[in-house]
């Protein structure tokens, strides 16, 4: 429901600021739809499945590693540069997750 509301808010935002939504082809709208559905459905299903085997706090902490994964994927797939800020932030994030996982029962 939250994602539906977010989509509606963005649609209203585009209408108010006269940002065109129609120049996209049917194929592009299909890609947008797949990008909205697949990661959401499979991501949430995976997290819910994992909750049967590990504690919720562990799952919540490991989710913090997602931005680090996004930086790595953007580097390899899109050619995005990795900046010093990415390195420092990623290192601190992964260090925090590592410390949590070492000190808490999974």
**CB–CB of 58/104 below 8 Å?**
yes
Q: What are phi and psi of 83, to 5 degrees?
A: -90, 175
Closest CA to 50 of 40, 38, 62: 62
Domain ranges of the chain: 1-53, 55-106
Is the model more confident about 106 or about 37?
A: 37
- Of these ranges, 66-70, 74-78, 88-92, 102-106, the one predicted with the greatest mean pLDDT is 88-92
pTM of the model: 0.62
pLDDT confidence tier of residue 44, bands split at 50, 70 and 90 = confident
């Amino acid at each position: 429901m939250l994602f539906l509301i977010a989509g509606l808010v963005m649609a209203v935002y585009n209408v108010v600021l006269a940002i065109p939504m129609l120049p996209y082809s049917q194929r592009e709208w299909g890609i947008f739809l797949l990008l909205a559905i697949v990661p959401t459905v499979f991501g949430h299903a995976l997290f819910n499945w994992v909750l049967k085997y590990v504690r919720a706090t562990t799952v919540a902490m490991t989710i913090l590693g997602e931005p680090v994964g996004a930086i790595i994927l953007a580097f390899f797939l899109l050619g995005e540069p990795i900046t010093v800020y990415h390195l420092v932030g990623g290192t601190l994030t992964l260090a925090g997750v590592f410390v949590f996982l070492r000190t808490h029962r999974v």
